[in-house]
Structure 1
Amino acid sequence: MKDVAAAAGVSIKTVSRVVNGEDQVSPGTRQVVEDAVLRLGYVRNEHAAALRRTVDR
């Protein structure tokens, strides 16, 4: 996520919002982040996401 954020010129939280499908991101910013995700080949780590959900409970 750090690399995607740097490439897109946004915060890691913004990348997180886009990757998680949250709607607090403007369409333009979302597109920039999605382009960076594709360009860098970012793939969300589902195991880490599941672990995070378990720990946050």
Structure 2
Amino acid sequence: MVDLMPLVKKDNPFLNNYRLQTVLDDYGLENETPHRALSDAKTTFELATKLIENKVLKI
């Protein structure tokens, strides 16, 4: 399990807040049905993939 929040804060320390929707907007990702467990999980996975592409997350 990996907590993405510290990585997002390190990558972009100037966001107004770090709610999932704000972070997704900043990374150009869309959550079609927010506040639904499966949709939020899939979008969080997309965020992790984006962080890997940006060389912020190393697995």
TM-score, length of structure 2 as denominator length: 0.32
- Say which one has the larger Rg: 1
TM-score, length of structure 1 as denominator length: 0.32
Greater fraction of residues in helix:
1
